[in-house]
Amino acid sequence: MRPVLGELELPAVQQVTSLDRRDLATHTVPGLDASVLQNLGRAASVVLITGLASGPQTQQLTEQMDTSLRDGTPLTFVADVTTDSKLDRVVVTDLSLSDVAGEPALTAYRIVLREFTEPPPPADPAAVEGGILDDAAGLVGDLTLGLDGASAFVAELSRVITDLGDLLTRLQRVRDAAG
């Protein structure tokens, strides 16, 4: 069975490689001879497919592959090598197209697919405890009251500074006269 990406059946597939790995964090603990590993779960699977395209549909095939790469939308994927891994939705992450020397009607392709997992839905704001929201609203209210008071303080301060500036000038004259 040929690999099928979305509705595109990939022709003349030469190689299908599935790359799976586990993410592990290494922590060094003082006093221990070895490191401690923390299992962070499985990383998204990666599939590399190489093949050849020839004939009149080559242009259409390469355009569809390029569109899939640029759109970045998840596509369905079916291939024998990934049947056991339950890999069914992927995103095209890399595409290479090459003309084959001496064969003008032959195009080599290399496409890299990455497993797509639907992100979890955003948290429901209604699920937040009501008391927390009330506290936050009270703090915002206090902040706006403080800002209103600050603007009145600045207005009064500018009036007083003018009077102080005049006082300093008068004191300087008295000092000069006494001096």
User: Which residue ranges make up each domain of the chain?
Assistant: 4-115, 127-178
Residue 165 CB partners (closer than 8 Å, separation 6+):
none
Per-residue model confidence (pLDDT) at position 101: 82
pLDDT block averages, 10 residues each, the chain of length 179: 83 88 90 88 90 85 87 87 75 89 84 91 74 74 72 71 69 77
Q: How far apart are CA 94 and CA 65, in angstroms?
A: 10
pLDDT at 164: 65
Reported as type and span, the H/E element at residue 67 is: helix 58-71
CA dist 94 and 112 (Å) reads 5
Per-residue pLDDT at 93 = 92
Closest C-alpha to 92, from 113, 107, 75, 63: 113
As given in the structure block, the two tokens for residue 80 are 């024998």
Sign of the torsion angle spanned by Cα atoms 79, 82, 88, 89: negative
- Each residue's pLDDT tens digit, 98-127: 888 887 778 899 999 999 988 888 877 776
Q: Span 4-115: which CATH code?
A: 2.40.30.200
Question: Per residue in 128-142, pLDDT tens?
Answer: 676 777 777 777 777
* Torsion angle of C-alpha atoms 80, 84, 87, 88, degrees rounded to 10: 70
**Residue 10 near residue 4, CB atoms below 8 Å:** yes
Q: How far apart are the first and last CA of the chain?
A: 106
Res 121: pLDDT: 87
Does the predicted TM-score (pTM) go above 0.75?
A: no
